[in-house]
Homo-oligomer: A and B are copies of this chain.
Amino acid sequence: METERQGNWVQQEGGKAFFINHRVRYSDTDKMDMVYHGSYIPMLEAARVDTLREIGWVYSEMEKEGVLLPVVDMSIKYFIPARYDQMLRIECHVLDRPTARLKFSFRILHNESLLVKAEVCLAFVDAETGRPRRAPEGLVASLEKHSLIHS
């Protein structure tokens, strides 16, 4: 069994996207019998980190090399509630060629239904100085090579 790699590629209109799966747990739900609106946020985090890992950029190693990526803004639209035990698919790609920021776009689906759309923008920060910095050249090249940047 493949335990390390989780997720796969999917073709979207503007390029390719990477997705991971998440089975909805009790801990994700609330008393309205749906996923709590805040519970999607760790799913988005896992999807973007695994997308970067897939193209060779391990965020935990970037950190060790002094590149931090704090979230600077986020927006989420909720169309259809996800339910307990559904296997969700969280698709992730990048919006715009990254300069000092990295904008991810997400779609969360169950079967073929679009449940949630989200955008999360992170800033490249130099760990030593705490100041903004540019995206590593190699990262931009990797994103382009994998058609992950949609415009």
Q: Give chain A's interface residues, CB within 8 Å of chain B.
A: 1-8, 21, 23, 25-34, 36-38, 41-42, 45-46, 49-50, 58-60, 68, 70-78, 81, 84-85, 87, 89
Contacts and interface: CB of A to CB of B under 8 A. Distances in A.
Given A3-B89, A72-B78, 7 more contacts: A26-B45, A27-B38, A29-B30, A30-B30, A38-B41, A73-B76, A73-B77
A36 B46 contact: no
Nearest to A76: B74
Contact of A26 (B8, B31, B84): B31
Contacts of A50: 23
Please give the count of copies of this chain that the complex contains: 4
A129 to B, nearest CB: 15
The 10 A-B residue pairs with the shortest CB-CB distance, nearest first, are: A38-B41, A75-B75, A60-B85, A27-B42, A29-B31, A37-B71, A73-B77, A31-B33, A26-B30, A1-B8
A113 B140 CA distance: 34
Contacts of A2: 1-2
Contacts of A49: 23, 25, 85
Q: Which of A5, A59, A75 is most buried by chain B, counting CB atoms within 10 A of its CB? A: A75
